[in-house]
């Protein structure tokens, strides 16, 4: 007997969704507004109105036991009459509302059947209620349905889904059976690797969160995926969401899966590619009138999906593009459909954490999921960005002339919002400040914004020949996002107003994203945050949704300590005011460090301007050395050309880069490709209003404002940059830290154990002799 459990909504949308792939402003993005309206209408239902009534049904059909459940919006029982209500929000003009889409009625029919199965009555009234969001009017359509009519409809719905229930069962059974045979793909564990894998497995068993600091070389990816897949084989979890910040990190996960597939195992994995990157059009345009892959998508996607998931285990960019072209379907939507049948989903952080694009189909309710969060130190800034939102007066002003005069309500809403922006600008002018911040939200601004988005929504529902249509749609999405973020607003947010000339910005700034992250983590069973630099651990516990009871693990480096020579030059200040005086001394130390052995060296500077000063001074002082520098806004091709230089020559070469930039993380220069890293400064972010808000916030919370705003983020960038040096057991090289603060208590304690012991150097001569001694011993071993 096959068991199939799902929600009513999932069932009917899969079976009855047809036609075009509709732009999200017509459906998904209105979900939160719809929830509020549902609650309002339910509250007005009166004493006979029961809201959010849980209903379920178990039916066996052709050896499949279906358990379908959900919550009916409302049930009214009065005068021996039963009315089952389904509520939908819409921007379709009130006078154009018709009896309703089948996918909406189907949901109500299923609930109606479930209700009659458990009550002594033979018929009821199905009421489909539409709430027109712009006119704020309600229109309802009633149908009287008998038990037999609803039963026939429901059984026919199940029959249409039978094929997919069997496919899902076959995939799940095969994955579970094969993953029980999974063995670790290498002859032995590296140092610390087994300990990490065991900690991950135990975290899954305990329904917990683990914060794991695991230095480069341990093999974090396979150590987290392997126990996760074993847990799927044992039925302890259903899916793994492996999320990361960069494509190169995702590639490591792909490679790890390929190692596991060599065991002749069958389980499903989907590598999610961003919509812009996988779009088959020259320029993305998701309007079905302009995109043949969106036009009629739901009429073709099931055939594409069936072949894709039955013929392939690892579904990546190339495979999705192939099937997108073959079946003329959007490959981005196809990959999301394929995720439903996958054991492992790999993608960017935003598919789990970002309220704009997270995979809503999985996170409506709690699931038996494992979240693997790679390079978790990156999630702090990314989460702040995800849960912040900004709007400017200029954004709205430029569209005013393009709104047709006939849309009087839209013009009025635009005018009201513009008055709010003018008022914000005047606040800045009166205080003679360009930046203001306040803890309180601005409810009246939000009311005006909501009125405008409602009117914009109605406008965008229609067909218009407007050269600013794309700009209007983009603005609509920005406004919706601002409203969505307002729902998260609490004591960890600040409202910021910023003025520049005649323009003004308003921003809801998320200082601590821990609560929204916690809300997401509750949707799964267990979470593993892991990174080579997750220190101090309390900092990440505070910002990533952990607590004092969360599991934590810190592993030592698996590489021999004697392979790296750490020096600290603590007689030079690189503070902003002393930078011009430090350049000559830094270049002398730099020359002394790199001239003891030919090879490739990287200097990481705290800013582009400082890096350029050091570069220009160095090439004048030492013109015989090959020197390169990281240019601003490098393209992907320019980045690859820059990296290729490391493999070309064994001569002495020096590369000037920016700490925290594209070359300070995610690049792998093994062996002699890199034999030295010089770190100038302590990586502090430049003083700015937003970091100061973080400082003020955490000064109030835990008296660690400066550390949370500046010191810890800075040292994380430094340690990531230092981590470029030793990437394998064969790598050897020097690390030179240049700044007087490195031997102070706060910074000395931030250096991880694998960078101890270190040698303090004061002069170029000391650097030269210390480096000579290291290379002499290292090359003789």
Whether 781 has a pLDDT exceeding 90, the answer reads no
Whether 1 has a pLDDT exceeding 60, the answer reads yes
Radius of gyration of the chain (CA): 30
pLDDT in tens, 214-226: 998 899 999 999 9
pLDDT in tens, 331-353: 999 999 999 999 999 999 999 99
With bands split at pLDDT 50, 70 and 90, how would you rate the model's confidence at 390? Answer: very high
pLDDT in tens, 596-620: 999 999 999 999 999 999 999 999 9
Q: Which of 124-133, 149-158, 276-285, 495-504 has the lowest mean pLDDT?
A: 124-133
b or e along 448-466 (b: 16 or more beta carbons within 10 Å of the residue's beta carbon)? bbbbbbbbbbbbbbeeeee
Whether 43 has a pLDDT exceeding 80, the answer reads no
Q: Answer with the residue of higher pLDDT: 123 or 459.
A: 123
Structure token digits, residue 127 = 């009421």
Residue 91 Cα to chain centre, angstroms: 30
Whether 632 has a pLDDT exceeding 80, the answer reads yes
Q: What is the pLDDT of residue 448?
A: 95
With bands split at pLDDT 50, 70 and 90, how would you rate the model's confidence at 136? Answer: confident
With bands split at pLDDT 50, 70 and 90, how would you rate the model's confidence at 587? Answer: very high
194-210 mean pLDDT: 97
Q: What is the pLDDT of residue 293?
A: 95
Whether 32 has a pLDDT exceeding 60, the answer reads no
pLDDT in tens, 644-669: 888 866 789 999 999 998 898 878 88
Q: What is the pLDDT of residue 120?
A: 82
- CB of 345 within 8 A of CB of 351? yes
Whether 197 has a pLDDT exceeding 90, the answer reads yes
Task: Look at the block and give the residue holding tokens 């601002």.
Answer: 482
Q: What is the pLDDT of residue 35?
A: 57
b or e along 137-157 (b: 16 or more beta carbons within 10 Å of the residue's beta carbon)? eebeeebebebebbbebbeeb
With bands split at pLDDT 50, 70 and 90, how would you rate the model's confidence at 769? Answer: very high
Look over the chain and give the mean of its residue pLDDT values, rounded to a whole number.
Answer: 91
| Angle of CA points 703, 705, 707, to nearest 5° | 105
Domains, the chain, with CATH or none: 2-167 (3.90.320.10), 185-385+514-554 (3.40.50.300), 388-510 (1.10.275), 561-780 (3.40.50.300)
Q: Answer with the residue of higher pLDDT: 90 or 138.
A: 138
160-186 mean pLDDT: 95
82-108 mean pLDDT: 79
With bands split at pLDDT 50, 70 and 90, how would you rate the model's confidence at 280? Answer: very high
Give the integer Cα–Cα distance in Å for 4 and 514: 35
pLDDT in tens, 693-730: 999 999 999 999 999 999 999 999 999 999 999 988 89
Q: What is the sign of the dihedral through the CA atoms of 621, 626, 627 and 633?
A: positive
Q: pTM score, two decimals?
A: 0.91
With bands split at pLDDT 50, 70 and 90, how would you rate the model's confidence at 24? Answer: very low
Whether 204 has a pLDDT exceeding 80, the answer reads yes
The H or E element spanning position 603 is: strand 600-605
With bands split at pLDDT 50, 70 and 90, how would you rate the model's confidence at 100? Answer: low
Task: Look at the block and give the residue holding tokens 């030919």.
Answer: 598
Q: What is the pLDDT of residue 653?
A: 93
Q: What is the pLDDT of residue 471?
A: 80
Q: What is the pLDDT of residue 467?
A: 65
Q: What are phi and psi of 43, to 5 degrees?
A: -65, -25
Across 424-579, the runs of DSSP E, i.e. the strands, are 435-438, 493-500, 503-510, 526-531, 551-554, 564-569
Q: Answer with the residue of higher pLDDT: 433 or 459.
A: 433
Q: Answer with the residue of higher pLDDT: 196 or 464.
A: 196
Whether 285 has a pLDDT exceeding 90, the answer reads no
The H or E element spanning position 420 is: helix 408-431
With bands split at pLDDT 50, 70 and 90, how would you rate the model's confidence at 34? Answer: low
671-690 mean pLDDT: 93
676-687 mean pLDDT: 94
Q: What are phi and psi of 517, to 5 degrees?
A: -65, -45
541-558 mean pLDDT: 93
């Amino acid at each position: 007997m096959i068991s199939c459990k799902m929600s009513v909504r999932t069932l009917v949308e899969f079976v009855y969704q047809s036609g075009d792939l509709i732009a999200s402003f017509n459906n998904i993005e209105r979900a939160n507004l719809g929830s509020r309206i549902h609650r309002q209408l339910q509250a007005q239902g009166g004493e006979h109105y029961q809201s959010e009534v849980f209903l379920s049904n178990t039916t066996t059909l052709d050896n499949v036991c279906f358990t379908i459940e959900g919550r009916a919006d409302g049930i009214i029982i009065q005068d021996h009459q039963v009315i089952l209500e389904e509520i939908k929000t819409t921007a379709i003009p009130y006078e154009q509302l018709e009896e309703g889409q089948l996918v909406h009625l189907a949901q109500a029919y299923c609930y109606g059947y479930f209700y009659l199965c458990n009550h002594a009555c033979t018929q009821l009234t199905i009421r489909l209620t539409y709430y027109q969001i712009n006119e704020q009017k309600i229109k309802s359509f009633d149908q009287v349905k008998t038990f037999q009519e609803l039963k026939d409809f429901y059984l026919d719905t199940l029959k249409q889904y039978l094929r997919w229930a069997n496919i899902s069962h076959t995939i799940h059974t095969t994955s579970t059976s094969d993953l029980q045979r999974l063995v670790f793909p290498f002859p032995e564990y590296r140092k610390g690797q087994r300990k990490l894998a065991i900690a991950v497995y135990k975290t899954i068993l305990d329904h917990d969160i683990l914060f794991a600091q695991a230095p480069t070389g341990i093999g974090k990816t396979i150590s987290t995926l392997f126990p996760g897949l074993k847990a799927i084989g044992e039925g302890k979890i259903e899916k793994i969401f492996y999320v990361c910040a960069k494509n190169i990190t995702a590639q490591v996960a792909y490679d790890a899966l390929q190692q596991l597939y060599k065991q002749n195992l069958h389980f499903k994995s989907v590598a999610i590619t961003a919509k812009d990157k996988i779009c088959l059009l020259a320029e993305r345009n998701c309007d079905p009138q302009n995109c043949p892959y969106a036009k009629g998508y739901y009429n073709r996607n099931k055939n594409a999906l069936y072949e894709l998931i039955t013929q392939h285990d690892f579904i990546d960019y190339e495979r999705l593009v192939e099937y997108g072209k073959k079946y003329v379907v959007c490959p981005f939507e196809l990959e999301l459909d394929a995720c439903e049948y996958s054991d492992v989903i790999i993608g960017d952080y935003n598919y789990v954490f970002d309220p704009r694009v997270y995979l809503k189909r999985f996170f409506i309710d709690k699931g038996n999921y494992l979240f693997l969060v790679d390079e978790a130190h990156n999630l702090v800034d990314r989460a702040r960005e995800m849960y912040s939102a900004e709007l400017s007066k200029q954004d709205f002003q430029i569209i005013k002339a393009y709104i047709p005069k006939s849309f009087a309500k839209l013009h009025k809403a635009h005018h009201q919002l513009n008055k709010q922006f003018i008022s914000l600008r005047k606040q800045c002018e009166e205080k003679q400040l360009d930046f203001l911040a306040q803890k309180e939200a601005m409810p009246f601004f939000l009311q005006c914004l909501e009125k405008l988005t409602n009117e914009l929504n109605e406008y965008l529902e229609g067909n218009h020949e407007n050269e600013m249509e794309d700009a209007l749609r983009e603005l609509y999405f920005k406004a919706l996002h601002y409203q969505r973020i307002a729902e998260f607003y609490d004591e960890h947010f600040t409202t910021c107003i910023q003025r520049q000339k005649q323009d003004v910005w308003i921003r809801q700034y998320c200082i601590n994203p821990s609560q929204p992250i916690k809300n997401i983590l509750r949707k799964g069973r267990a979470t593993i945050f892991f990174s080579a630099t997750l220190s101090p651990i309390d900092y990440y516990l505070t910002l990533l949704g952990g607590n004092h009871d969360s599991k934590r693990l810190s592993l030592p480096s698996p590489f021999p300590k004697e392979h790296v020579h750490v020096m600290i030059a603590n007689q030079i200040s690189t503070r902003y005011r002393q930078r011009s005086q430090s350049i000559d001394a830094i270049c002398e130390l730099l020359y002394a460090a790199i001239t003891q052995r030919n090879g490739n060296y990287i200097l990481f500077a705290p800013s582009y301007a400082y890096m350029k000063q050091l570069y220009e001074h160095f090439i004048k002082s030492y013109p015989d050395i090959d020197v390169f520098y990281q240019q601003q806004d490098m393209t992907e091709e320019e980045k690859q050309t820059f990296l290729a230089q490391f493999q070309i020559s064994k001569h002495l070469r020096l590369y000037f880069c920016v700490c925290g930039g594209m070359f300070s993380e995610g690049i792998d220069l093994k062996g002699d490709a890199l034999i030295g890293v010089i770190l100038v400064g302590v990586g502090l972010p430049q003083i700015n209003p937003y970091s100061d808000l973080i400082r003020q916030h955490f000064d109030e919370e835990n008296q660690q404002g400066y550390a949370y705003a500046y010191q810890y983020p800075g040292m994380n960038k430094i340690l990531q940059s230092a981590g470029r040096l030793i990437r394998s057991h064969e790598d050897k090289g020097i690390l030179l830290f240049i700044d007087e603060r490195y031997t102070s208590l706060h910074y000395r304690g931030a250096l991880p154990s694998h960078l101890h012991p270190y040698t303090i150097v004061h002069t170029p001569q000391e650097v030269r002799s210390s480096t000579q001694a290291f290379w002499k011993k290292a090359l003789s071993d």
